[in-house]
A and B are shown apart, each in its own frame.
Chain A
Amino acid sequence: MTMLSDDELAGRLRRTYDAVAASTAVVTPPVSAVTSPRPDPVDASGGRPSAWLLVAASLLLVLGGVGALTWISPDDGGPASSIEQLTTRVRHATLSAIPAGFGLLTIESTADTDTLGFGDGVRELTIRTHRQQPGDSIETAGGNPVAVRATVAEVTGSEDAGFSVRWVEQPGVVVEVLADGSWRLAEVVDIADQIVMVTDETWARLTASAGFATVDDADRVVVDERSPEIPEAGRMDRSLAGSLQTGVRIQLWSSYGPGTDDDTRSVGRWVDDVYIVTATDDDASIRIRRDGITIAEVAAPRDPSMPHRRFASFEARGLDAGAELTVEFLDTSGTVLHRLEVPR
């Protein structure tokens, strides 16, 4: 057979695509096929944690625009639209430079395990985990390793098959992956790039390649407040991460309290109307009051990876701009131990 030139091959390829496309009969299903609520988040997510799992550690509260309250909890259920919204929120994801190359890194999360998949070219993989304190930057987390350090050496994968490594998620734990390999210069900017991910109970799936990181199903990604300003559209700088490929709009979290000492309580407003409450081990529950009126009380479960801390979260949507929230920290007897004002 005569060797085809690139142009001849491209022409043959175009003819093939056109012919196959013409032979591909497509019947468009009714639009309801993609607009109807999905009955089971587990099934719909292909094995990712369900909405119930995502909110199991804390009770989330949605405040309606006219003051109506809707509780979303593992037990009482909630509106399907709200559940869907919860499954698409990633509350804590921070990454740094991303290695390039097609499909170099993928993360797939099941209920308690992440699977890291690598594509071709990776020869050595180092996984380090660190405990992440609220407000920590990547640098400080990286300098404080408290967990395991594992090196997977001489990892070889076929060009297309890749390989995978699994670890068990721990809330608040940074999983840092350093990959080194024989990438060709055309496909990667630097070897030994670094990817840092912070997992918590709302961790979803993250896919990263070539300077992009995509948090599937996420409508927002929260990044460190010290990160440089993120453009609203276009490719992200390699020093940061986040994806606009799927329309994800990155938002810096707007504020965060100190929250690093064991005896410090804080309330952080992450994105829009989502608040994260950092409590101490003395606090059993959190009461949210608006203009002096109690509107909700949520449990403050202990974080297994941070035994002296407790965390709660709530979402306040639709409040007037001038409304003020008060967050009270209560012990098991209901006594208010501490009170914080949260201006909106």
Chain B
Amino acid sequence: MVGCVSRSEDAAVGAAAPSFATVYADRYAPLVRLARMIVGSHAVAEELTQEAFVRLYGAWERVDNPAGFVHTALVNLCRTHLGRAARTETRATDGPAPTGIGEIDETWNALCRLPAKYRLVLALRFYEDLSEADVARVLGLRVGTVKAQTHRGLARLREELS
């Protein structure tokens, strides 16, 4: 298995910096899954993830933390996609429930009906298990905003499930 090693970690052990191919191989699948949790659609998630890696490739020489860069780029792309989809009312999801497990599919479908900002915050908070401070940093929001959006997102999800 190819390990994900930041450049600073590489330096610490005297190893060579990871190649783009290494970062790509290591991070592609997890990022597709993250994007799917945010945007709902597997196909869109793959497109956005590829675009994020295109950006990483273009900026490779200037990037100190490739994994962090591509993660943030992907989150921004998801955010842009959701905003655009909301304005054009073209929200793409995978349609049928994904797992065949009642509670899971019910929750997933409710999740996909939430406004974009809540889906983004909830995915980072509860899928990636980022702290509120880290979510705030990634999204460029204040911690108070993240707390409020998390609370409202859960409330909306509760409404959708009731």
Contact = CB atoms under 8 A, between A and B. Distances in A.
A333 B123 CA distance: 64
A100 to B, nearest CB: 7
A16 interface: yes
Interface residues of A, number: 60
A106 B50 contact: no
Interface in A103-157: 103, 106, 108, 117, 119
A33 interface: yes
Nearest to B103: A12
B158 A20 contact: no
Interface stretch (A158-166, A170-178, A287-295): A158-166
Contact of A247 (B63, B139, B151): B63
Contacts of A323: none
A13 B158 contact: no
Given A20-B98, A184-B148, A161 B157 contact: no
A29 B50 contact: yes
A186 B37 CA distance: 25
Given A103-B116, A164-B87, A84 B58 contact: yes
B98 A119 contact: no
Given A4-B158, A6-B151, A216-B80, A34 B54 contact: yes
A28 B28 contact: yes
B140 A210 contact: yes
A230 to B, nearest CB: 15
B98 A217 contact: no
Contacts of B99: 19-20, 23
A14 interface: yes
A13 B122 contact: yes
A246 B55 contact: yes
B140 A16 contact: no
A199 interface: no
B24 A31 contact: yes
Contact of B117 (A84, A102, A163): A102
A339 interface: no
Central interface residue in A3, A35, A159, A161, by most chain B CB within 10 Å = A35
Given A17-B127, A100-B142, A102-B120, A246 B72 contact: yes
Contacts of B101: 19
Main secondary structure of the interface of B (DSSP, over half): helix
Contacts of B54: 34, 38
Contacts of B76: 207, 214, 216, 245-246
Contacts of A211: 140, 142
A13 B126 contact: yes
A272 to B, nearest CB: 11
B62 A17 contact: no
B83 A20 contact: no
A contact patch SS: loop
A10 interface: yes
B33 A21 contact: yes
A164 B88 CA distance: 10
B15 interface: no
Contacts of A6: 151, 154
B115 A24 contact: no
A341 interface: no
A10 B154 contact: yes
A187 B162 CA distance: 27
A159 B80 CA distance: 16
A245 B20 contact: no
B83 A106 contact: yes
Please provide the 3 A-B residue pairs with the shortest distance between their CB atoms, ordered closest to farther.
Answer: A212-B140, A102-B117, A186-B148
Interface of B: 20-21, 24-25, 28-29, 32-33, 36-37, 42, 46, 50, 53-59, 62-63, 69, 72-73, 76, 79-80, 82-84, 86-87, 89, 98-99, 101, 103-104, 107-108, 111, 115-117, 120-123, 126-127, 137-142, 144-145, 147-149, 151, 154, 157-158, 161-162
Given A24-B33, A100-B141, 19 more contacts: A4-B161, A20-B98, A20-B99, A21-B37, A23-B98, A24-B36, A26-B33, A28-B25, A31-B20, A33-B50, A34-B53, A103-B116, A103-B117, A161-B86, A164-B87, A214-B76, A219-B62, A245-B140, A246-B76
25 contacts: A10-B126, A10-B154, A13-B154, A15-B104, A16-B107, A17-B126, A20-B99, A24-B42, A26-B32, A35-B20, A102-B116, A102-B121, A102-B139, A106-B80, A159-B115, A162-B83, A163-B87, A207-B76, A207-B80, A209-B139, A210-B140, A211-B140, A216-B80, A245-B138, A246-B73
